[in-house]
Chains A and B, each alone.
Chain A
Amino acid sequence: MTVLLLTSSEADQLRGQFYTEGVTFNPVQDGSTPPNWVISQEEANECTNNEFMWVRDLPKIEWVKPIEEDETN
């Protein structure tokens, strides 16, 4: 699975903003060391907000799922 690479400032810019009606961006950090800020392909593909069309030009990288211990397992 590929995701789109963001800078930290781009992540701040996108966080909570609508990319299409009723759906907001959610930049997250992947499991790389150091972690990368990324958004998903769906967010770019479905983006209809002219202010953020630049996300379609972001570089693609392979998704590295963060490894988290489920604290209750």
Chain B
Amino acid sequence: MIVFAKEGQSIVDVVLQFTGGLDSLMHIIAANPPLTIESYPGSGTPIFIDNSFVQQSATLNEIRRRQIVIQSNDQSGVAPTPTPGVDPDAQIAINYLDAQGYTPTANVENEIDTLIKALKAANIYSIHWDGYSAGAGVAIIDALYLYLGNLSAPAAMNLADPRDLDAAYRASFTGGWSFSVNGAKGNGVNGYHRTFLTDSLLSATTERWFGFGSKSDTNPTAAVDGGKGAGGQLQRLQARSSGNALVELYSPQQSIAVANSLGNYLAYRNAAGFLYFDKNNVNLFTGSLPIGALTTANEYIVGATNNSLTSTISAGFYSDRIFTHWVFGRNYLSLAQAAAFNAAISAFNSAIRP
């Protein structure tokens, strides 16, 4: 069963009516509770909505259209409700994009679904917004920006928490940006976006991983593609600057010569001090490095690096790169998980970026 709220209609006005003997509701994806169940033939008992899948982000005036998907294990003999086959978290993301003014094509929907299923298979995807706790040692994604939809609102979505909230690490764009099917591009003058991710507040360890995809082949002298902090223990990435890819992640900066700045970059480290830095799933650097302390509360930003406790940007460091994605994760990412992430995000970008 699929029900749509009309333009401007409050989701609480939607009434679900069941015409068959629906035995159970496994998942309901909606905008806001409460939904009203008008009738439930053969039962006569209240149906309890599974709020764990209720998206809580939108205010009513943001709702354009919402899809409610019900999966049933009906064994009554009545024709069963078709199961979409779409991962519930992918459906939430698709619905969110739709509510933000971008209706994904069937191909994009399929690729979002494929991406999430691949990340889940590698045990590196979680929806932390519903209280999920990965537990110690399990690599999780805090933010994954896919920059979809040619508009700032859908481009801001965090796939790991599709809500329009700072607390969901939704991107907040500032300055000059442009959005296209290729991704999001800062202007190199004053464009950056906040993540609201302050990693020193996420966990006490320095096991972190982050990365991005680049559709631009540039070689600036001082721009920074993303990071945080200043003064000795930066955490930042740069696809190419003066001929070198740069990485810092609670350890001294590493510069590795690269021929261009196209492709997917991923840096990850473990608590023992080993830093790995890959480009297109090929290792650029592996080494044991001294580990800096979690001493600052600086916030990761994309398109530059902040150099104060808030978000003051060094004016010469803005990036004009086209980003296909950015990812920020924590806890140790194993080599196999890193390869799985690279494969999944590469496949996603190849499928939807021209």
Contacts and interface: CB of A to CB of B under 8 A. Distances in A.
Q: Give the secondary structure class of B's interface.
A: loop
Contact of B175 (A29, A40, A67, A69): A40
Contact of B176 (A21, A41, A73): A41
Contacts of A24: 172-175
A41 B190 CA distance: 11
Interface in B175-219: 175-178, 187-192
A68 B222 contact: yes
Contacts of B253: 72-73
Nearest to B320: A1
Query: Which secondary structure dominates where chain A touches chain B?
Result: loop
B176 A40 contact: yes
B222 A70 contact: yes
Interface string A34-60: 000011111100000000000000000
Contacts of B315: 28-31, 66, 68
Contacts of A23: 152, 173-174, 177
A42 B314 contact: no
Contacts of B178: 42
Interface string B311-335: 0011111000000000000000000
Contacts, number: 83
A43 B152 CA distance: 13
Interface residues of A, number: 30
A5 interface: no
B191 A42 contact: yes
Given A66-B315, A68-B316, A71-B230, A22 B173 contact: yes
B228 to A, nearest CB: 13
Contact of A27 (B188, B190, B191, B241): B190
A28 B248 contact: no
Residue among A25, A31, A40, A68 facing the most chain B CB atoms (10 A cut-off): A40
Nearest to A63: B189
B189 A40 contact: yes
25 contacts: A21-B151, A22-B152, A22-B172, A23-B152, A23-B173, A24-B172, A24-B175, A25-B175, A26-B174, A26-B191, A28-B189, A28-B313, A31-B315, A38-B189, A42-B191, A43-B176, A43-B190, A63-B189, A68-B314, A69-B222, A70-B222, A71-B230, A72-B248, A73-B222, A73-B253
Given A20-B152, A43-B190, A65-B316, 5 more contacts: A24-B174, A26-B175, A26-B176, A29-B315, A68-B315
